[in-house]
A = this chain, B = another copy of it.
Amino acid sequence: MAYPDKRADTAFPIHELLASRWSPRAFADRAIPADVLGSLFEAARWAPSSRNLQPWHFVIAARHRDPAGFARILGTLMEGNQIWAQHASLLLIAVTKPKPDEGGRANPYAHYDVGQAIAHLSIQALACGLYIHQMGGFRRDAAREALAIPAGYDPVVSAAIGYLADPSALPEEIRDRELAPRSRNSLSEHVFGGTWGAPFPDYA
């Protein structure tokens, strides 16, 4: 049993790495080579950020190489995520520093820029044959304690990374959702020409 075609059903063509990205739950029992791991975080490193503050940190653990670290991160995930994320090759918690300047004002792009860094990492993952599944469902306080995240830094998101596996190994209730086609709202609901609510300009 293989996954059905999960490619984006696009109204305009988009690059293959963007079209084929999605967030699976069935991961193969396979380690990520060290150089590939380097490429993933190198991609995040070169993401853009406001004032080049690079307001992102990643605590990562590879299941095959650091089972204790992997278990620490896994233990901070909501139970519904642990069921499948335990089989990923890598888990991470992304962390930001909301106030970069001592005693200064908050960086309004702290979370936004972590989103960009993870997006760049996701595209690099695809280029390496890997998939990433981001999770909001983790316990921030538990992550802070288990990973010794210092005061002044906030856990933002968790993610599982790995190679795609046969979805038949997934529990049935997860599998059914997993095989459904991907969906998005229409372009016209999100893109406006010149002013709010005006139609997406095709300039045809």
Are the CB atoms of A15 and B17 closer together than 8 Å? yes
Are the CB atoms of B157 and A68 closer together than 8 Å? no
CB-CB under 8 A for A46 and B8, given A147-B195, A203-B37: yes
Asked whether A160 is an interface residue with its Cβ less than 8 Å from the other chain, the reply is no
**Which residue on B lies nearest to A127, using beta carbons?**
B15
Q: Which residues of B contact A34 (CB under 8 A)?
A: 202-204
Q: Which residues of B contact A194 (CB under 8 A)?
A: 59-61, 66, 68-69, 72
Are the CB atoms of B61 and A18 closer together than 8 Å? no
**Which size class do A's interface residues fall under?**
35 or more
Are the CB atoms of A195 and B59 closer together than 8 Å? yes
6 contacts between A and B (CB under 8 A): A17-B17, A45-B185, A56-B190, A59-B195, A109-B115, A112-B112
A11 to chain B, nearest CB (A): 6
- Picked from B11, B43, B72, B201, the residue with its CB within 8 Å of the CB of A62 is B201
Asked whether A134 is an interface residue with its Cβ less than 8 Å from the other chain, the reply is yes
- Picked from B65, B109, B185, the residue with its CB within 8 Å of the CB of A136 is B109
In whole angstroms, how far apart are the Cα atoms of A100 and B14 in the complex? 28
In whole angstroms, how far apart are the Cα atoms of A54 and B62 in the complex? 30
| Segment among A80-88, A118-126, A167-175 that sits at the interface with chain B | A118-126
**Which residue on B lies nearest to A34, using beta carbons?**
B203
